[in-house]
Structure 1
Amino acid sequence: MQCFTIPINILKEIEKVYRSFFWGQKGDEKKVAWVALEKMHKSKREGGMGFRNMHVFNRALLAKQAWRVITNEESLMAKVLKGKYFPAKSFMEATVSPNSIYPWRSILSARDVLSKGARIVVSDGSAIRIWEDPGVPNLPNFRVTTGEARNEE
């Protein structure tokens, strides 16, 4: 699950198996679902059952691999992927080519998970792109806007 985007129908089948097991369902026998699937997916702290939403879990594992490529540039995986798929760009700017292997396309599909939560760290400020990089938590989309754009919103 951490290398491939699993098709939704397979993830639904996995959820069906654990729901059947939890509710004691055998074969085509129909049982009453005493607990909603949404409650099963909530953490125990939130009053749920702590079961994983398989689609969200798959995306999280792929995002973890993407994070490893970004943060551990000296790893063999990061070097191979960078050399083959994005030699002159950053990971977040990489594109999918028609000859990309499925694991690479899967990891790239989780970039949006990272972009929703990733922020830049300012060191000496030389690499900051103030208009493009997300980084200011109290601004819309974490981006700096001009006074004119702010007035339009």
Structure 2
Amino acid sequence: DSLPVKYLGLPLITKRLSKQECSVLTERVMKRDNCWIRPLSFAGRLQLIKSTLLNMHIYWSSIFLIPSSIIKDYESVTRNFLWGGSEQHRKAGKVKWSTVCKTLREGGLGIRDMRTWNKALLLNQIWKLLNGKSLWATWCRKYLIRKSNFWILPTLGPYSWSWTQILKYKTCR
């Protein structure tokens, strides 16, 4: 690995998360896809996507803003798996992916949109920061927020990339 330190499978970094550092996510999905593609029906593949494949990125998404290129690759692999293709043999989708990602009531298949999910998990971090009693929340309040108010902290400053992303999300609309 090119990263000096990992903790619980996550790179400990202060700079922007690169595509190379996140490629582990897409590679894991590809490995699982290749094992499961043949014996499963469409309904089986859909259930596998909902229960396993889309949950593989949640841990990372709750900590980092996942780069758009990784989300695009991850969705591409997932989309291809759903329609019955493999890494070598791509199959065209029968419905737009944005339609597939709608809820069942809206006419979709109930697959979660990864960008929205990543944003929601990062907003949850803000809630935990302001309301939580965890070691992380206590440390952030003491050393990053200090005696200031989280809502008026400047977005830009001498912060790590991860902290800057959290600060950007406080004005999320």
In the superposition, the TM-score normalised over structure 1's length comes to 0.65
Mapped contact 2:103–2:110 kept (Cα < 8 A): yes
Cα distance in structure 2, aligned partners of 1:54 and 1:79: 29
* Counterpart amino acid of residue 53 in structure 1: D
Counterpart for residue 56 of structure 1: 116
Counterpart for residue 159 of structure 2: 100
Alignment of 1:40-79 (within 5 A): 40-72=100-132, 74-79=133-138
- Answer 1 or 2: which has greater helix percent: 2
Q: Does 1:37 align with 2:97?
A: yes
* Counterpart amino acid of residue 31 in structure 1: K
Cα distance in structure 1, aligned partners of 2:168 and 2:109: 29
* Counterpart amino acid of residue 105 in structure 1: T
2:105 match: secondary structure: helix
Mapped contact 1:3–1:107 kept (Cα < 8 A): no
**Unmatched segments (≥5 aa) in structure 1:** 117-153
Q: Does 1:109 align with 2:168?
A: yes
Aligned residues: 113
Q: Deviations over 1:84-133 (max 9, x none)?
A: 222122211122454322332232232123xx4xxxxxxxxxxxxxxxxx
Q: Deviations over 1:15-60 (max 9, x none)?
A: 0010010011223534231121111111122221111211111111
Counterpart for residue 147 of structure 1: none
Counterpart for residue 10 of structure 1: 70
Counterpart for residue 129 of structure 1: none
Return the match for 2:140 from 77, 81, 98: 81
Cα distance in structure 2, aligned partners of 1:95 and 1:7: 23
Mapped contact 1:92–1:111 kept (Cα < 8 A): yes
**Unmatched segments (≥5 aa) in structure 2:** 1-60
Alignment of 1:19-38 (within 5 A): 19-38=79-98
Kindly state the Cα deviation for residue 75 of structure 1 after the two structures are TM-superposed.
3.2
Between 1:18-27 and 1:74-83, the stretch displaced more is 74-83
* Counterpart amino acid of residue 163 in structure 2: W
Mapped contact 1:3–1:106 kept (Cα < 8 A): no
In the superposition, the TM-score normalised over structure 2's length comes to 0.58
